[in-house]
Structure 1
Amino acid sequence: MILVINAGSSSIKFAAYDAASLKLRLRGAIEELRNTPAFSIHAEDAALKTAFEDFPASGDHARYTAWILYALEKIFPDDAVAIAGHRVVHGGLHYDAPAKIDDAVLEDLQSLSPLAPNHQPHNLAAIRAVAEKSPALPQIACFDTSFHRTQPRLAQLFALPRDLIDEGVLRYGFHGLSYDHIVHELPTHLDAKSRRRVIAAHLGHGASMCALQNGRSIATTMGFTALDGLVMGARCGALDPGVVIHLIRQKGMSADDVDKMLHSKSGMLGVSGISDDVRALLKSDDPKAEEALDLFAYRAAREIGSLMAALGGLDALVFTAGIGENSPDMRKRICARADWTGLKLDEGLNEQNAGRISAASSAVEVLVIPANEELVIARACKTALEER
């Protein structure tokens, strides 16, 4: 059996797959780790759900990761976990493919924590917890950044002094596991001609877009960190660096204060002053909520134009992740601002969250493909097992 773990700042998502067929055995999540932890599980076999009744009432990432291993041993006594795969947000310059985790790799990944401070430490905490609970269990790290290593050098460069560039201050891009899944799914939705120039929009609490040319990343909206690019739930997205200088010099804010504001008090939450959740904003009659939603859509539509310049045109637009999959309103707002491309929505299909939501007369195919980063990690684990 393959265990996939996606450890976030306040949650741990996990899934178990059959090692031979990659059939999903179960999927679960532990959320609100900082407050009152809540557990959920999705499995076809109802008996599996009752096996998790001894869920600990409190704990940290390490305790709950160990508990997941314990629970799987209990409910699958004849099918031991053969390998664990982890989502790791940052792989830096050198990790352009999944990596077997050892002490040297773990040390490398730890050194990248300052580049993803809200994600990397939690990813690594789960890895260490598995190693402590099951030292002999092989573990694989799958990186959100590695998918974008195919980008041309110019797409990766900042116009900064050369010594900083040589040190690795570059545009890395993120959400690579999500985009990898999109590429894998596209042949079931589009013919070869229609998937030459694709923009994938991973729109969730964290949001980005990626230009896919024949299935390879050539440009993306996130850069050196996951703070760049689109407006997000509570992150600011692209920002004039002069604003940061102003906040420090004129407002007397510390670097830590600015960091916290840009990561957790900005985005749609900051603009609306109400919520970082699109659903809550859509229910509000406060004009600031409407402005936050419009800003999200406006910036997304602008990035479509930018990524089209990199691609030299557009054959298909794909929405994925929480907002992309489940918000017809936001898809409509974004597509309305991109109608100059010849893109036209079928409003009925859009409201149904159908797989294809473009009108028959649309010059651009518009798809909705559910995110499945866990399956990408499971595939990497299966390959690692076969290569042993």
Structure 2
Amino acid sequence: MSNSIILVINAGSSSLKFSVFRVNGAGNLQAVVRGQMDGIGTRPCLKAKDGTGALLVESDFTTSEAATVADAITLVGTWLREHLQHELLFAVGHRVVHGGTQFSHPVLVNSEVFTTLEQLIPLAPLHQPHNLAAIRAIRERQPQVPQVACFDTAFHRTHPQVADLYALPWKYYESGVRRYGFHGLSYEYIALILPKIAPEISKGRVIVAHLGSGASLCALQAGKSIDSTMGFSPLDGVPMGTRPGALDPGVLLHLANQCGLSGVEMEKLLYKESGLLGLSGISSDMRILLESHDSRAQLAVEYFVYYTAKQIGALTAVLGGVDGIVFTAGIGEHSPVIRARILQACAWLGVSVDTAANERGGPCISSADSRVSVWAIPTNEELMIARHTLGLINSRKGEYVE
């Protein structure tokens, strides 16, 4: 096991993120490589760093060399074999966006499981196909290597049923139209490390704000998900880089019936042209918007802060109060300005910010007299996937059957 590695893959439509963890003798995981292949099908570029952050490779490829996710898997695999010559690939863990109602825990992928995951594509049409393309590519090239699917929806399966309902005819709920919640691997990691970083709130009522290009919030009670701002799809909840967040369904009817938008056009609008980009007309990147003096850029930031604070209020009501707030992901971890503005809007909760600690990035960023403690904690979805993969394979040794 000392020379064994676990490969973690997060495949998107135009990018392939990957991490490599070495499995040490005691079963500990050490991050040794982290990288991604961007611009698949357009301007492919492979970039990777080692566990200390030192650059290992930065290489461009032609469009024909990396036209698909499968091509990217091949190129990344070739580079990893050259870089990690004496390491044995123990298993591959995948981020899979949707587990539907069927999967509440990570699962070893065999033919039956893969077929079930394909049936879930309609629930996440822009994510699931790419997640499965990576699994398929590895199954074709190295069928002997066990693969584990880890689901963004699984952590939220602890919701009470009432939190996952839509007020639609019951047949739709039975067919899978319900609130699933996403970013579960991130929330699971935060719940896992809270007892070490903030033990005083880990068993209490905590709201975690995963704020990045994709954004959502989750209400935790004693480390379990009670509710989340994302629902049936990753479009719901707070505004995001290119996604609108919560939207009156009447708007969609209007866009279809009065504006003549097709399903394909509406999908592009909602996933790629809305959110901060749509409001500002400038960028989906919060850093660029914060630096801009353009009035629409400032309005987009204000909108993001307003609706995030609004959702904190809603989740506080769900929990019956709140003991702690945790910021994580790209914006949540790295933007003291956004954290401060959101918390200022939550002053009614008794939140008081330690300005110097917030500027430093925490981990605790609330003042000593704050009634609600506030934290900035980096998430690590890749490590969570690697832990699940190692644990599942070890528990099922001798049981892996294709």
What is the CA deviation profile of residues 326-384 of structure 1, one whole-angstrom value per residue up to 9, with x for unaligned ones? 11111111111111000111111112222111111111111111121000000011112
Instruction: Report the CA distance between 1:108 and its aligned residue.
Output: 1.1
Partner of 1:9: 13
Partner of 2:391: 383
2:264 to 256, 260, 265: 256
Q: In the aligned structure 2, how far is the partner of 1:317 from the partner of 1:111?
A: 37
Residue 63 of structure 1 aligns to a residue whose secondary structure is helix
Residue 334 of structure 1 aligns to a residue whose secondary structure is helix
Q: In the aligned structure 2, how far is the partner of 1:323 from the partner of 1:32?
A: 23
Q: Give the TM-score normalised by structure 2.
A: 0.93
Partner of 2:121: 113
Q: Give the TM-score normalised by structure 1.
A: 0.96
Residue 88 of structure 2 aligns to a residue whose secondary structure is coil
Partner of 2:400: none
1:280 to 275, 283, 288: 288
Q: In the aligned structure 2, how far is the partner of 1:265 from the partner of 1:48?
A: 33
2:376 to 345, 361, 368: 368
Partner of 2:365: 357
1:176 to 169, 181, 184: 184
The aligned runs of 1:145-224 (5 Å cut-off) are 145-193=153-201, 195-224=203-232
Which one is further off, 74-83 or 226-235?
A: 74-83
1:39 to 43, 46, 50: 46
Instruction: Report the CA distance between 1:194 and its aligned residue.
Output: 5.5
Partner of 1:328: 336
What is the CA deviation profile of residues 223-274 of structure 1, one whole-angstrom value per residue up to 9, with x for unaligned ones? 0000111111110111110010111111111122112111111111111111
Instruction: Report the CA distance between 1:30 and its aligned residue.
Output: 1.4
Contact 1:230-1:296 within 8 A present in 2 as well: yes
What is the number of equivalent residue pairs in this alignment? 386
Question: Which residue identity is paired with 2:328?
Answer: T
Gaps of at least 5 residues in structure 1 are none
Q: In the aligned structure 2, how far is the partner of 1:211 from the partner of 1:45?
A: 33
What is the CA deviation profile of residues 121-164 of structure 1, one whole-angstrom value per residue up to 9, with x for unaligned ones? 11111111111111111000000000000000000110100111
Which one is further off, 354-363 or 219-228?
A: 354-363
Instruction: Report the CA distance between 1:166 and its aligned residue.
Output: 1.0
Question: Which residue identity is paired with 1:119?
Answer: H
1:126 to 134, 144, 157: 134
The alpha-carbon distance between structure 1 residues 350 and 115, as it changes in their structure 2 partners (threshold 3 A), is same
Identity within the alignment, %: 47
Partner of 2:273: 265
Contact 1:73-1:80 within 8 A present in 2 as well: no
Question: Which residue identity is paired with 1:22?
Answer: L
Q: In the aligned structure 2, how far is the partner of 1:353 from the partner of 1:151?
A: 31
Gaps of at least 5 residues in structure 2 are 398-402
Output the aligned Cα RMSD: 1.6
Which one is further off, 121-130 or 36-45?
A: 36-45
Which one is further off, 260-269 or 66-75?
A: 66-75
